[in-house]
């Protein structure tokens, strides 16, 4: 098997967990402006973010094994707050900080990494850590 067959091109989806899907939809869809693409009212709400999908699951519902004609996705779920980071052009970080603050979302941290990249951290309604970072944060790593 050649190297090309073993390549990974990026992250296709990222998941966080929340008990209140309506509050999550208000944050990710309403405040952040991500397009909601799929919702199951008791289990999940999914959003498109560029070439990535942001999955928000109710953990206890995603731990139930599929049955019958359901898709054979293995059960999963996390305890406690997770983390997601959105790639944001540096010049728009101030506008994001202002939008979040005006919506009553506290900025937990706003700083520059040793390589000069800036990150802003907030919490979603479920307590997940949500970061907005310049893409250059990881450009020189690895």
What predicted TM-score, i.e. pTM, was given to this entire model?
A: 0.88
pLDDT at 142 over 70: no
- Say if 54 falls within a structural domain: yes
pLDDT at 65 over 80: no
- Say if 2 falls within a structural domain: no
Burial class (CB in 10 A: 0-12, 13-18, 19+), 57: buried
Distance CA 17, CA 37 (A): 17
| CATH for 17 | 3.10.180.10
Interval 25-34: pLDDT, tens: 999 999 999 9
How many domains does one find in the chain?
Answer: 1
Interval 76-122: pLDDT, tens: 888 889 999 999 999 999 999 999 999 999 999 999 999 999 999 99
- Say if 41 falls within a structural domain: yes
pLDDT at 23 over 70: yes
- Say if 3 falls within a structural domain: no
Domain that holds residue 38: 10-66+81-137
- Say if 113 falls within a structural domain: yes
pLDDT at 139 over 80: yes
- Say if 73 falls within a structural domain: no
- Say if 76 falls within a structural domain: no
Closest listed residue to residue 29, CA positions, set 139, 134, 125, 132: 125
Q: Select the more confidently predicted residue: 141 or 74.
A: 74
């Amino acid at each position: 098997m050649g190297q090309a067959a073993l390549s990974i091109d990026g992250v296709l989806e990222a998941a966080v967990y929340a008990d209140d899907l309506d509050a999550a939809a208000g944050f990710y869809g309403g405040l952040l402006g991500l397009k909601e693409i799929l919702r199951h009212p008791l289990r999940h709400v999914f959003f498109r973010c560029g070439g990535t999908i942001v999955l928000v699951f109710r953990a206890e519902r995603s731990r139930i094994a599929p049955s019958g004609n359901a898709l054979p996705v293995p059960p999963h779920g996390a305890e406690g707050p997770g983390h997601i980071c959105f790639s944001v052009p540096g010049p728009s970080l101030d506008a994001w900080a202002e939008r979040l603050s005006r919506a009553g979302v506290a900025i937990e941290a706003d700083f520059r990494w040793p390589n000069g990249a800036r990150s802003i951290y907030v919490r979603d309604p479920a307590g997940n850590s949500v970061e907005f970072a310049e893409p250059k944060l990881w450009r020189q790593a690895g």
